[in-house]
Homo-oligomer: A and B are copies of this chain.
Amino acid sequence: MPRGRWGRGGGLGGGACPRRIARFLEPCLLLLLRGDATHGYNLLEALRQFGFTPGTVDASVVYRILREMENAGWVSSQWDTAGSGPPRRVYTVTPDGEEYLAAWINDLRCTRDEIDQFIETYTRHEAGRGSG
């Protein structure tokens, strides 16, 4: 069983749609944080709205990306020691992060257009075969 990234096992031909976008968690977390500054553990559940069903994403992966993004200056964090349980690191999106997210959106629009173009080419091809 390949532990690899793009899950050859459950993906193509499987049924559920595999996540084919590289580093997609980044913009998802950014968008989530923009809506509501919160901590990693909480984001794990919130990711469901982007199709990341529970168990799909490992907590450590989320924490890792959060740290990386803080390192890059796209988010900043503060320890929240109020409330019970261990302290939580609460993240906020920085202005640089906003810009980065906007650039991501741009990229995604572009990627979507390319996909559309590819599918169209495929479809035209199919039609050509049908009549030939």
Chain A residues packing against B (C-beta within 8 Å): 2, 4-6, 11-13, 17-23, 27-28, 31, 34-35, 49-51, 72, 99-101, 103-112, 114-119, 121-122, 125
A108 to B51, CA, bound (A): 15
Question: What are 20 A-B contacts with C-beta separation under 8 Å?
Answer: A2-B72, A5-B22, A6-B23, A12-B100, A12-B106, A17-B111, A21-B22, A21-B111, A21-B114, A22-B22, A27-B118, A31-B122, A49-B121, A51-B114, A101-B122, A108-B115, A108-B118, A109-B119, A112-B115, A112-B119
Find chain B residues with CB under 8 A from A49 CB.
Answer: 121
Find chain B residues with CB under 8 A from A125 CB.
Answer: 31, 34-35
Find chain B residues with CB under 8 A from A19 CB.
Answer: 111, 114
Chain A binding surface, main DSSP class: helix
Find chain B residues with CB under 8 A from A117 CB.
Answer: 50
A111 to B119, CA, bound (A): 12
